[in-house]
Amino acid sequence: MKQLILISGPMGVGKTTAARELLNNLSRSVWLDGDWCWEQGNHWDFAPENKEMVMDNITYVLGNFLSNPNFETVIFSWVMHLPEIHEELLTRLENHDFDVFDISLVCSKDELKKRLAGRSDDEVQRAIGYLPLYDNLENVKLDTTGHSPARVVDDILRIINADAPRCIF
């Protein structure tokens, strides 16, 4: 059965790095970064119409990846800080058969500040403010504090290759 690996976490936690490395470690895999569907230059407009359009774009691309027989594993990385985002995403993909591995990357506040060095204070505070929201998700939490990207990818590979908590659709 196909695998859908969801990698969520606040900005700066290492989602993109982990997803890119994971892609390189898994054969017949493909990756979508949710931010690619949001790219709006310097000003991001979170109007309801834009949120709906982005979710449509994401689920369209993910659905195509899940339907394509050339891919076994689909990796999707995005902030996904609310349970409703996970639920909507999986509901929109329910006509596909796949195992989903839902993983949130988290780290300490101090680590997140270090990783976001050079970013604006607003961005840093927003990312830190998102950290506790991942406690409300019913998924696997992976603390990346002090871990190299290779270590994080090894941990993700252990999760998807073991009987870790996951949902099956």
With 0-12 / 13-18 / 19 or more C-beta atoms within 10 angstroms meaning exposed / middle / buried, residue 113 is middle
Residues of the chain above pLDDT 90, percent: 83
The predicted model scores a pTM of 0.92
pLDDT at position 46 is 76
Q: What is the pLDDT of residues 41-51, one digit of tens each?
A: 566 677 888 88
Asked if 80 and 86 touch (Cβ cutoff 8 Å), the reply is yes
- List residues bridging with 104 in a β-sheet: 8, 141
Does the structure show a pLDDT above 60 at 38? Answer: yes
Residue 169's pLDDT band (boundaries 50, 70, 90)? Answer: very low
Q: How confident is the model at residue 168 (pLDDT cuts 50, 70, 90)?
A: very low
What type of residue sits at position 41?
A: G
The tens digit of pLDDT for each residue in 135-160 reads 999 999 999 999 999 999 999 999 99
- Which residues, at least 6 apart from 41, have a Cβ–Cβ distance to it below 8 Å? none
**DSSP bridge partners of 99:** 3, 168
The rounded radius of gyration (Å) of the Cα atoms in the chain is 15
pLDDT band at 163 (very low <50, low <70, confident <90, very high): low
pLDDT band at 76 (very low <50, low <70, confident <90, very high): very high
Domains within the chain, CATH numbers bracketed: 2-168 (3.40.50.300)
